[in-house]
Amino acid sequence: MRDSILLLKNLLLSTSRHNIYKYTKDPKKKRRIVSGYIGQACLYIMLIAYSYIMCVGYGKFGLIEAAPILCALIISVLAFVFTFFKTNGYLFNFKEYDMLMSLPFKAKTVAACKFLYMYINSLPWYLSVSLAMMVGYGYYARPQFYIYIVWFVLSFVMPVIPMLIASFLGFLIARVSTGFKRKGIIQIVLTFLFVIFLFSIRFIVEDLFRNNKVEATLSDISDITGNMGNVYIPAGWFAKAITDGDFVKAILLIAVSAVLFAIVFALVGGSYRNINSALKSHAAAKKFKMRSQKQRSVINAIAFKEFKRMIGSTVYMVNGAMGVVLASLLGIIVLIIGFEKIIEFVTNGAPFDYGIVKPAIPLIAYFFIGMVATTACSPSLEGKNYWIVQSLPIKKETLYKGKILFNMYLSVPFMVFSIVCMSVSANASIIDTLLYLLLGLVLCAFSSCWGCVCGVKHMRLDWENEIEVIKQSSAVAIYMFPNMIAVLGLAFLVIYLSNMMDVRFVLLLLTAVATVLTILCYMRVMKLSK
C-alpha cells in the first residue's frame, strides 16, 4: 500500500487541474480549468439538491428509515457503472503503461494505484449523494451525534466493493478477449453485451412489479428497499450501522472492503502484464498479399482514420457507438412488439391516442443516436500527436470536415434503420415516413456540427488518459446536457403542436429550424478552425 500511495501521489500531482492552474502561464488553459470547475460545481449542486429532495420525500411520507439503504444502493450503482466504463482505460491498455511498468514496483502495486486513482476522481460524486442524504436523514430522524460520524466514515467505504466488482468484471472481459486475434473487437462486443444486459434489468424488474409477480410484502417502498438490502448485503450493513447503531456491521463493511481489495489485486496482478501486453499487440496475417491501395479523397481518408481510431479503443467505441446500438435495438424491439405496446408500457397504460406520439419518432431515435457525438471528443483525442496534424499539408477546415463526415457515416444508417422500423410498426404513411427521415438526417448533421463546435472550442490536448477526453471533458458535457434536454422538450412540443395544426407542417417547420442551426454550427466550426 505504501508503494501504491507513492505512485498515486505522483499521478495526482501530474494530472491535478489545480496544479496545472498554479504553474501554467497559458491564459486559455487557465480559463478552461476555471470553466471546468464551474461546470462540475453546477453538476454537484444539482446532484446534492436531488439527493436531499429525495430524502425530504421519504421524510414526508414517514419512510425516512429507508433513506440509509437507498443512499447505499444509489452510491453502489453509481460506483459500479462509473468504474465499469473506466476500467479499460484506467486499469488496462492505458497510455503510460510502459513508463509505469519500468519502475521498480510490482504489477499489482501499479494496478492498485490506478484503482485508487479512479476512486479518488469519482469520490466527489459519491460524497455529494451521501452527505446530502445524511443531512436529510438527520433532519427527520434526529439520530444520535455519533451516527453522523459513522455515516461520514462509511461514505468513503461504501463505493469500494461495487468498484472492485466492476473492476474484476472488466478484468475478466479483458482476460477473455486476450485469447482472440481480434482482441479489441472481442472486448468491445463483450462490453456491449454486458451494458445491454444492464439496460434490460430495469425493464425486467419494472415488469415484475407491474404484473404483481412479487410478494405482497414488497408493495410498500420501505419493504422494497429492505429486501434490496438482503440481496446486496453491503448495503444492508450500511443501513444497519446507521438505523440500529450497529458498529459490528460498520466494522464488517470496512474489513470486507479491505480484504476484497487485497484479493482482487492479488488476482489481477498475476495476469496484469500479460493482459496489457496482449491488448497492445496486434495479430499479423500469415498469408499477406500486396494489393493496390485504395484511393480516397482527403476528407474520406480523415473519416476512415477516425474509424480506425474508434475500433482501436474500447472506451471510444463503447461511448461513441452505444447510442446507435441502442437506437437499433429500439427499432428491432418496436418492430417485433409493436409501437402502441411500447408506448403503452412506457406510459403505464394511460388512456390516450397513441397516434399523437408518431410525429416524435425521429426525436425518439435521435435521443439515443445524438447521445454522444464523436466530434465532441475527436479533436482532443489527437492529444500530444497534435503537432503531426498541424504539420500535415491539409487545412484544419478539411480536418474537421472529415471528423464531421465520420460522425455522419456512423449515425445516419442507424438513424434511417431505427426510424423505418418505428414507422412500419406505427403504420405511418410513406409521406410521413419520408418527413421523419428528412428530419432525422438533419438532426444527425446538427449533432455532428454542434459536437464539433464543442470539441474544437473546448479542445484539451494535455490529457494522460483518453477517458478524460471521452467521458469527463468539458466538450462532451457541454454537448450532451443541452442537447438531451432540448430533445426531450422538442418531443413534447411536437406532440403538443400536432394537436393544433397539420403534423406535416410541424415536421417541416422543425426540419427548417434544425437546418438553420446546423448551418450556423458548421459556419462556427469553420470560423474556429482559422
| Tens of pLDDT, residues 491-520 | 888 877 877 788 888 889 899 999 999 999
Share of the chain above pLDDT 90, in %: 11
| Residue listed under C-alpha cell 488496462 | 92
Whether the Cβ atoms of residue 469 and residue 89 lie closer than 8 Å to each other: no
Burial class (CB in 10 A: 0-12, 13-18, 19+), 159: buried
pLDDT at 259 over 80: yes
Q: From CA 376, how far away is CA 460, in angstroms rounded?
A: 11
| pTM for the whole structure | 0.64
The C-alpha angle 348, 350, 353, rounded to 5 degrees, equals 130
Q: From CA 221, how far away is CA 234, in angstroms rounded?
A: 19
Whether the Cβ atoms of residue 302 and residue 406 lie closer than 8 Å to each other: yes
**Structural domain boundaries of the chain?**
2-280, 298-528
The C-alpha cell at 412 is 445516419
Q: What is the mean pLDDT of the chain?
A: 78
Q: From CA 359, how far away is CA 343, in angstroms rounded?
A: 13
| Tens of pLDDT, residues 260-297 | 888 887 777 666 666 666 555 544 445 555 565 566 67
Burial class (CB in 10 A: 0-12, 13-18, 19+), 193: exposed
Give the residue, 193 or 43, on which the prediction is more confident. 43
pLDDT at 223 over 50: yes
Q: From CA 264, how far away is CA 249, in angstroms rounded?
A: 22
User: In this structure, which amino acid lies at residue 472?
Assistant: Q
| Residue listed under C-alpha cell 501486453 | 277
Q: Would you report the helix, strand and coil content of the chain in percent, each value rounded to 5? A: 80, 0, 20
